[in-house]
């Protein structure tokens, strides 16, 4: 009798083992499995085939550079630069993946918070580096407010986060398309000249916070060589935006530290198995909400850092253009729908931005055919598709 009766008590051992079974197996293989495979197989399995292909492709591009008259050092400078623009945006994916909310296709929402910060900062008359600080300060309450609402929504629709996030992102973005036209902005650098109202699609940041982080402690090898009166050869073209990288390192470290606190561990538990987490006494909804707010805030800061590197604020439909590359980047780094680490962020951003930077120049010089856009689409969407169809128990 007692054997047949199903046990609904969460604390009983049988339920516990049942729940444990649903936790996805770790990606790292056991030692025994490893010995059974050939070394090559083991490497492929632990690194992931798509990631291996992408890395290989990037390596081929690097090897090709001298043969097609492309300057390698300039390319590396570009990759470092682009890394510094995008890394924080990619980092913004981590908390939501950890708490089981899946890939944050609602990134436009976070970007809108950042855009509000940057436009209002300019509107209130801040200039120079101070405008960046003001933008961060102004963006923060918006991120907490909108992120909180977004978190509330996502808590009510567990299981369908990704699709809804996509369309919530779109809706908010198109709503703000109207707002950019209707809100009473008046700063002459931002509005249309003729009607003196409505924000322009692209706003230059010269005189505001253009390169404010990148210029901080910047290491320009060309300049150093000039000062010391020595020749560094090709290395002279290397420029490192130290400030931006330092900010990323700081935020990444904070994220890493947070994930190792009690709350951070709870977040991972919620992502791995909500039922088990609830049984362990974790407030699932609150943890998820926290992760969404964190993600939104990081996204807002991320777009500000992107802007200071890029030198322009892009409004209207522009936020949409960043979603897919960002999601693809973290997946290329080896993250899955419910698992991500800081190293995934770093590796993914370097690989993805490497391909984005290298393909147009190398391809153009090699075969006089610019297929970079098509390759970028296929690589990034293919990566997302691979992650979605992998047999891992996802955000359910």
Partner 1 sequence: MKKKNIPAGKKALELVRGNAVPIMFVIICAIFIPMAGFSPSYLLNEIITRMGRNLFLVLCLLFPIMAGMGLNFAMTLGAMGAEIAVILVADWQIWGIPGVVLSMILSIPFSALLGFICGTLQNMAKGREMITSYIINFFINGWYQLIVLYIMGSIIPIIHASIMLPRGYGIRNTVSLLNMRQCLDDLLAVRIGGVKIPVFTFILVGLMCLFIIWFRRTKLGQDMRAVGQDMDVARDAGINVDRTRIISVVMSTVCAGFGMVIYLQNIGNLPTYTGHSQIGMFCIAALLVGGASVEKASIGNAFLGVILFHLMFIVAPGAGAFITGDSMVGEYFRVFLSYGVIALALIMYEAKKRMAKSKAGRELAEAQKEKEAAE
Residues that bind partner 1 (CB under 8 A): 8, 105, 153, 156-160, 162-164, 166-168, 170-171, 173-175, 177-178, 181-182, 198, 324, 369, 371, 373-374, 377-378, 381-382, 384-385, 388-389, 391, 394-396
Length of the chain: 396
CB nearer to partner 1: give 20 or 178: 178
Q: What does the alpha-carbon distance between residue 80 and residue 63 come to, in Å, rounded to a whole number? A: 18
CB nearer to partner 1: give 144 or 181: 181
> 106 near 291, Cβ under 8 Å?
no
CB nearer to partner 1: give 351 or 384: 384
Nearest to 214 by CA among 246, 244, 239: 244
CB nearer to partner 1: give 237 or 339: 339
Shortest separation between residue 212's beta carbon and partner 1, angstroms: 31
3-state secondary structure of 163: helix
Backbone angles phi, psi at 30, to 5 degrees: -75, 160
Shortest separation between residue 174's beta carbon and partner 1, angstroms: 4
- Which DSSP string corresponds to 229-298? T---GGGGG-EE-HHHHHHHHHHHHHHHHHHTSHHHHHHHHHHH-HHHHHHTT--HHHHHHHHHHHHHHH
Shortest separation between residue 183's beta carbon and partner 1, angstroms: 12
> 355 near 58, Cβ under 8 Å?
yes
Nearest to 284 by CA among 393, 154, 163, 392: 154
CB 316: neighbour CB atoms within 10 A? 18
Nearest to 113 by CA among 88, 85, 138, 150: 138
Shortest separation between residue 224's beta carbon and partner 1, angstroms: 42
Shortest separation between residue 76's beta carbon and partner 1, angstroms: 27
Shortest separation between residue 165's beta carbon and partner 1, angstroms: 9
CB nearer to partner 1: give 39 or 193: 193
């Amino acid at each position: 009798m007692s054997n047949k009766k199903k046990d609904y008590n969460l604390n009983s051992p049988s339920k516990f083992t049942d729940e444990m079974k649903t936790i996805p197996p770790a990606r790292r293989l056991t030692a025994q499995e490893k010995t059974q495979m050939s070394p090559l197989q083991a490497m492929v399995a632990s690194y992931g085939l798509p990631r291996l292909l992408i890395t290989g492709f990037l390596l081929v591009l690097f090897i090709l550079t001298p043969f097609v008259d492309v300057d390698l050092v300039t390319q590396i400078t570009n990759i470092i630069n682009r890394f510094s623009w995008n890394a924080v945006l990619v980092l913004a994916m981590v908390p939501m993946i950890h708490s089981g909310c899946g890939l944050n296709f609602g990134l436009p929402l976070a970007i809108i918070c950042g855009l509000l910060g940057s436009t209002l900062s300019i509107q209130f008359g801040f200039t120079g580096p101070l405008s960046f600080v003001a933008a961060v300060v102004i963006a923060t309450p918006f991120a907490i407010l909108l992120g909180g609402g977004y978190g509330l929504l996502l808590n009510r629709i567990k299981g369908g986060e990704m699709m809804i996030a996509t369309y919530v992102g779109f809706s908010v973005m198109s709503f703000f398309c109207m707002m950019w036209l209707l809100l009473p902005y008046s700063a002459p650098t931002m509005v249309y000249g003729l009607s003196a109202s409505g924000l322009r699609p692209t706003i230059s940041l010269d005189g505001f916070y253009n390169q404010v982080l990148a210029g901080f402690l910047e290491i320009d090898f060309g300049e150093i060589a000039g000062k010391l009166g020595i020749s560094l050869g090709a290395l002279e073209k290397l420029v490192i935006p130290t400030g931006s990288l330092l900010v990323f390192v700081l935020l990444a470290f904070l994220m890493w530290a947070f994930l190792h606190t009690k709350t951070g561990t709870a977040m991972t538990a919620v992502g791995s198995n909500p039922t088990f987490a609830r049984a362990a006494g974790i407030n699932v909804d609150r943890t998820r909400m926290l992760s969404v707010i964190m993600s939104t805030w990081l996204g807002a800061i991320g777009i500000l850092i992107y802007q200071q590197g890029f030198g322009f604020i892009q409004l209207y439909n522009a936020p949409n253009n960043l979603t897919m590359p960002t999601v693809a980047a973290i997946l290329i780094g080896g993250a899955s729908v419910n698992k991500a680490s800081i190293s995934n962020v770093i590796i993914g951003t370097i690989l993805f931005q490497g391909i984005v930077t290298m393909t147009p120049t190398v391809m153009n010089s090699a075969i006089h055919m610019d297929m970079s856009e098509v390759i970028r689409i296929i690589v990034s969407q293919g990566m997302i598709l691979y992650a979605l169809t992998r047999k891992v128990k996802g955000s359910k």
